Amino acid sequence: MEDIKSVAVTDLNHQESHSSAAADKKVAYATMIGTTIEWYDYFVYAAVAGLVFNQLFFAPAGPLIANLLVFASIGISFLFRPFGAFIAGHYGDKIGRRAMLVLTLILMGGSTVLIGLMPTYETIGIAAPILLILLRILQGISAGGEWGGAVLMAVEHAPEKKRGRFGAFPQLGVPFGLLLASLVLVVMTKWVSPGDAFVEWGWRIPFLLSLALLVIGHWIRRSIGESPVFEEIKQRKSTIQNPIRVLFKHHKLKVLLAALLCAGTTGLGYMTTGGFIQNYTTNPAGPIALDRSTILMLVTISGLVWAAFTWFSACMSDKFGRKKVYIFGALLQLFAAFALFPLVGTATYLGIGCGIFLLSMGAGFTHGVNAIVYTELFPASIRFSGISITYAIGSIIGGAFAPLIAAWLIGVTGTTTSVTIYLMIVASLALTAILLLKDRTGIPLGIEHEEEQNKSPFIWSK
Claim: this prediction has a pTM higher than 0.75: yes
DSSP letter at 414 equals: S
Mean pLDDT score, 324-344? 96
Instruction: For the chain, give the mean pLDDT.
Output: 89
Of residues 116 and 404, more confidence is placed in: 116
Residues with Cβ within 8 Å of residue 215, at least 6 apart in sequence: none
Q: What is the pLDDT of residues 274-297, one digit of tens each?
A: 789 998 999 888 889 899 889 989
Question: What's residue 413's pLDDT?
Answer: 95
Residue 419 belongs to what domain range?
12-453
**Radius of gyration (Cα) for the chain, nearest Å?**
22
| pLDDT of amino acid 311 | 96
* Cα–Cα distance, 162 to 442 (Å, whole number): 9
The gap between the terminal CA atoms of the chain, to the nearest Å, is 55
Cα separation, 156 vs 215, whole angstroms: 26
Residue 226 in any domain: the answer is: yes
The CATH number of whichever domain residue 308 belongs to comes to 1.20.1250.20
Query: pLDDT for 436-450, tens place per residue?
Result: 999 999 999 999 999
> How many Cα atoms sit within 13 Å of 104 on the Cβ side?
36
Nearest CA to 225 among 371, 24, 88, 22?
Answer: 24
CA quadruple 35, 41, 42, 43: dihedral sign: positive
**Residues found in the chain:** 462
Give domain status of residue 460, yes or no: no
Signed CA dihedral, 158, 160, 162, 167: sign only: positive
What is the total count of domains within the chain?
1
pLDDT for position 226: 87
Tell me the per-residue pLDDT of 114-140, one tens digit each, with 9 for 90 and over: 999 999 999 999 999 999 999 999 998
Confidence check: pLDDT of 9 > 70 = no
pLDDT tens digits, 54-103: 999 999 998 889 988 988 888 888 889 899 999 999 999 988 888 898 88
Burial zone of 18 (CB within 10 Å; 0-12 exposed, 13-18 middle, 19+ buried): exposed
User: Can you give the pLDDT at residue 422?
Assistant: 95
CB 170 within 8 A of CB 154: yes
Mean pLDDT of 192-212: 93
Q: What angle do CA 30, 35, 38 make, to 5 degrees?
A: 130
Can you tell me the distance from the alpha carbon of 251 to that of 379, in angstroms, rounded to the nearest whole number? 10
Report the C-alpha gap between 326 and 261 in whole angstroms.
10
Residue 372 maps to a domain:
yes
Q: How many CA atoms lie within 13 A of 3 on its CB side?
A: 0
Q: Is residue 368 part of a domain?
A: yes
How far is CA 285 from its chain centroid? 31
Q: What is the pLDDT of residues 240-278, one digit of tens each?
A: 889 999 999 999 999 999 999 999 888 888 888 878 999
Q: Which whole number is the average pLDDT over 312-340?
A: 96
Residue 3: predicted pLDDT? 55
Q: What pLDDT, in 10s, does the model give residues 23-40? A: 888 888 888 988 898 889
Asked if residue 458 is part of any domain, the answer here is no
Name the nearest CA neighbour of 291 among 184, 206, 195, 180.
Answer: 195
Instruction: Report the candidate in 182, 158, 168, 135 with the shortest Cα–Cα distance to residue 39.
Output: 182
- More confident call, 351 vs 73: 351
Confidence class for position 399, pLDDT limits 50, 70, 90: confident
Q: Is the pLDDT of residue 8 over 50?
A: no
- Residues 6 or more apart whose CB falls under 8 angstroms from that of 309 comprise 360, 361, 363, 364, 365, 368
